[in-house]
Structure 1
Amino acid sequence: MEYTREQLIEIVSGQMPAKRWKHVEGVMETAVILAERFGGDKEKADLAALLHDLAKFWPVERQEAMIRDNGLNPELLEHDKQLMHAEIGAFVAQRDYGIEDPEVLDAVRYHTSGRVGMTKLDKIVCLADYIEPGREFPGVERIRDLAEHSLEEALVAGFDSTISFLLEKGKVIFPLTVLSRNGLIQEIKGSKQ
């Protein structure tokens, strides 16, 4: 069954508190702006942003069971629980809501960790999640300024912020986040040669 955008909004917003839905709306709006700015697909950006936190407020036990029972990335079980919802969201969007576009599904799947070789859509959704208007954390304005001219530089600053925060808290860093950051730095270096 195919769902309309309005039906997906109803489904997704019904699975989270109103404050988080406001965040999702901010990510949707920001993703479309970034797609316009950097030549991305606005419809795909909007859809991936709409779905990105689909499973965010599911109980941790349900998320862990989803990963185990559906052959999803088991490495996520060993890291911060905040990472699981992205993989689960992509899985559920495909299984339950008929989203077949691999670009959209990957943008949902990698919006928290990034990945090596991020697509333009991956970058747009990941960055929109960092800088949507409701986000307030030290350094967000600098990331927003960088996002005026470079997806890659803004994302490196975002990953730096996340990694610094995790280091300060003495938490384990998901290896893919570090690899994503390093891949973006290589990409920036390559484009300046």
Structure 2
Amino acid sequence: MNREQMIESVKAQMPEKRWQHTVGVMETAVVLAERYGEDPARAELAAILHDVAKYWPIAKMEQIIRDQRLDFSLLAHDKQLWHSEVGAWSAEHEYGVTDQGVIDAIRYHTSGRVGMTKLDKIVCLADYMEPGRDFPGVDRVRELSGESLERALVAGFDSTISFLLSKEKAIFPVTIEARNDLIQQLREAE
């Protein structure tokens, strides 16, 4: 499947507003990749597919997680996390993506993970701060993204965690671990 066919397929699976978000993530991921020395084509590919499963029925996502033996721990957490795991599966099995780094960047774009690769960081951050995003703190994340992927992601995770705490929602442990790992990376770089 070529790039244009992939774009048309993904676009057909979501509302126009979400597609505009995806375009913003694509553009932001390419800019960040160029700034931080990652392959822009890989960043764009992950961005194209990052929300491919976002609007799939919850029952379909749950079935794929169970049938394909994906990360069962997600089932105990917010359903908003499921699309990243299912999207990674779709990228590989329905779109023929063979680059494990791209698949992982899709898988971890909502939660992060310990040991995030540069591509993981770029796609996660691009999703968080693309130009269509407008919420308290996003401008600070954009500003930090010019200095450090790690500092920008910590600020993004802090904002997300604070929001979830204010709503008395559970926090996916992988996100806390990812944040702490980024803090450690920043300390070691000092």
- After TM superposition, the score normalised by the length of structure 1 is 0.98
Amino acid at match of 1:187: Q
1:80 corresponds to which residue? 78
User: Displacement, 1:78?
Assistant: 0.3
Structure 1 residue 113 and structure 2 residue 103: aligned?
A: no
Once residues 169 and 100 of structure 2 are traced to their aligned partners in structure 1, the CA distance between those partners, rounded to angstroms, is 31
1:181 aligns with one of 155, 179, 182: 179
SS of 1:97 mapped into structure 2 = coil
2:40 corresponds to which residue? 42
Once residues 25 and 175 of structure 1 are traced to their aligned partners in structure 2, the CA distance between those partners, rounded to angstroms, is 29
Once residues 35 and 110 of structure 1 are traced to their aligned partners in structure 2, the CA distance between those partners, rounded to angstroms, is 17
2:99 corresponds to which residue? 101
1:143 aligns with one of 141, 144, 152: 141
Cα deviation code 1:104-147 (max 9, x no counterpart)? 00000000000000000000000000110000010000000000
Amino acid at match of 2:181: G
Structure 1 residue runs of 5 or longer lacking an equivalent are: none
SS of 1:145 mapped into structure 2 = helix
Structure 2 residue runs of 5 or longer lacking an equivalent are: none
2:132 corresponds to which residue? 134
User: Displacement, 1:96?
Assistant: 1.0
- After TM superposition, the score normalised by the length of structure 2 is 0.99
2:170 corresponds to which residue? 172
User: Displacement, 1:87?
Assistant: 0.5
Once residues 2 and 147 of structure 2 are traced to their aligned partners in structure 1, the CA distance between those partners, rounded to angstroms, is 33
Question: How many pairs are equivalent?
Answer: 190
Matches within 5 A, 1:149-164: 149-164=147-162
Amino acid at match of 1:5: R
User: Displacement, 1:61?
Assistant: 1.1
CA RMSD of aligned residues (A): 0.5
1:61 corresponds to which residue? 59
Amino acid at match of 1:27: V
Amino acid at match of 1:21: W
Amino acid at match of 1:81: K
Matches within 5 A, 1:3-18: 3-18=1-16
Task: Could you list the structure 1 runs, at least 4 aligned residues long, displaced by more than 3 angstroms after superposition.
Answer: none
Once residues 94 and 140 of structure 2 are traced to their aligned partners in structure 1, the CA distance between those partners, rounded to angstroms, is 38
SS of 2:94 mapped into structure 1 = helix
Once residues 112 and 50 of structure 1 are traced to their aligned partners in structure 2, the CA distance between those partners, rounded to angstroms, is 15
User: Displacement, 1:44?
Assistant: 0.2
Amino acid at match of 1:118: M
Once residues 174 and 72 of structure 2 are traced to their aligned partners in structure 1, the CA distance between those partners, rounded to angstroms, is 14
User: Displacement, 1:55?
Assistant: 0.1
Amino acid at match of 2:159: S
1:21 corresponds to which residue? 19
Once residues 137 and 65 of structure 1 are traced to their aligned partners in structure 2, the CA distance between those partners, rounded to angstroms, is 33
Give the fraction of aligned pairs with identical amino acids, expressed as a percent. Answer: 64
User: Displacement, 1:69?
Assistant: 1.1
Amino acid at match of 1:123: K
Once residues 94 and 46 of structure 1 are traced to their aligned partners in structure 2, the CA distance between those partners, rounded to angstroms, is 16
